[in-house]
Amino acid sequence: MDAGAGRGRGRDQYVDFLRAWAISLVVLGHWLITGLVRRPDGEIVAPELLATVPWTQWLTLGFQIMPLFFLAGGHAAGGSWARARSAGGTVAGWVGQRTVRLLLPAAAYSGLVLIAVAVSAALGVDPATLALVGWAMAMQFWFLPVYLLLSALTPALYALHERWGVRVPVGLGVVALGIGASLAAAGSPRPGLVEAVGALNYLLVWGVVYQLGFCWRDGSLGRDGRSAVPIALAAGGGAAFAALVGPGPFPVSLILVTGQELSNADPPSPAMLAWGVAQVGAALLVAPVVRRVLERARIRRAVRVLGAGSMALYLWHMAPVLIVAAAFYLTGLAPEPAYGSAAWWALRLPWLLVLGGVLAGVVRALRPLERQVAGMEARVRPAAGLRGAAAWPLWGGLGMSVCALTYFAGHGFAHGGAFAVWPAVALGVGTVLVALTHAAGASPDAGHRPETAPAAPAAPVGKTGRSR
């Protein structure tokens, strides 16, 4: 089946599968490398597995699936924007619709967590403990600002794609490689200007894969599994990654590890870019096989169910770790073999099963809230007529929300054990501005069929305070 087949005739099941696969690996990867230890004084800590047991850094090659997610996101966003534009939709109207679907669930989640932080601080909970918990509940937020910005830039990026095709991701990649090389040469600590320029690689590296999603959709990368292009991407990207982490200066770990001078993810490095290109090629190569599997009704149904709950899984998947910590580690009920030992690894399976059961209960308990958020999303219709000065509050709200989410991603919900006042206000006001402005410009003949924006996975993390 051609990658572009089915446009205008329904959703691409393989794109939905990539999203579901990404969410599954995110949850599994986080849980697998998160280990708790109860100290003699009763304090619960989470040693950083990748730093404590260095060989586990190789696991990130399998669990760093952000490229697949951005590839699927670009494919879906390209089709959604093309349909909206042909139906007379505006840039602001389309961006507002995509933004609302991500911001409303994220704001609802943040509101609940921030209320818990405020209550805990008022009750005198230890600031260090509160800061750690606040970080754990916000570490996945690093993805949201990047994805929101790429969504807002989609109309412009798609216009570039229509004019220059695959030359656009190539150009973005060249610039990203130059920035990555400059960061590696600068060493640590880096000058402030170098650090600021380096942050552009969040948009450039992930933007390359997002842009390749456009190319995949229109057939520029050839037929899935029937072209030399996917082979070249997989082999070339893999070879470049091996060179960059072997004789090259970059570590093998695809997330941040304490003590390493260079990181492949903070910001995304040339090695991350190479691995992303390799994953794009691999995804296109296996597409025909997976599409045949997806012809089974039971598999399609499972993908749909997982996709429908993906945002809740993404936002709440670390909550079970905190619940299990309180129920089994604070009470001393959990067995605690030496961290990273064979016995410790043997207990990973029951650990995963317990967390899975708790998460199922959390998601079930959240259904009333999820239905309310879904109802709010449904009432905010596509704003086909939103344009000009009327759209400025939407762009302002988007900017405020991106700044707030960026703060939470880097500092957590309770940095220093204190309630984060300005980010909480910025996220709340920003979300309201986006939703109200978008709703005010709604038109009953908006015309284009909405397509679910993918929920975002996060890379596995340790105790570093960053999910990179």
Please list, in sequence order, all residues whose beta carbon lies within 8 angstroms of the beta carbon of residue 134, skipping any fewer than 6 positions away: 113, 117, 412, 413, 414, 415
**Which pLDDT score is estimated for 97?**
87
Predicted confidence at residue 151, as pLDDT, reads: 94
Q: At a CB cut-off of 8 Å and minimum separation 6, what does 26 contact?
A: 63, 65, 140, 314, 317, 457, 458, 459, 460
Residue whose entry in the numeric block shows the structure tokens 């910590």: 325
Work out the burial of residue 290: count CB atoms within 10 Å of its CB; fewer than 13 is exposed, 13-18 middle, 19 or more buried.
middle
Residue 38, C-beta contacts closer than 8 angstroms, at least 6 positions apart? 44, 329, 330, 332, 334, 336
3-state secondary structure 295-326: CCHHHHHHHHHHHHCHHHHHHHCCHHHHHHHH
Q: Beta strand pairing status for 37-38 and 44-45?
A: antiparallel
pLDDT, averaged per 10 consecutive residues of the chain (468 residues), comes to 40 88 87 88 86 93 90 94 90 89 91 93 88 88 91 96 96 95 79 79 96 94 80 95 92 88 90 96 94 91 85 89 90 89 94 93 83 64 59 91 94 90 95 84 44 44 40
pLDDT attached to residue 129: 85
Q: Helix, strand or coil for residue 268? A: strand
Closest to 213 (Cα-Cα) out of 76, 119, 335: 76
Q: Please report which helix (H) or strand (E) contains residue 37, including its range.
A: strand 37-38
> How is the chain split into domains, by residue range?
13-440
Output the pTM of the full model.
0.88
User: What pLDDT is stored for residue 379 in this prediction?
Assistant: 58
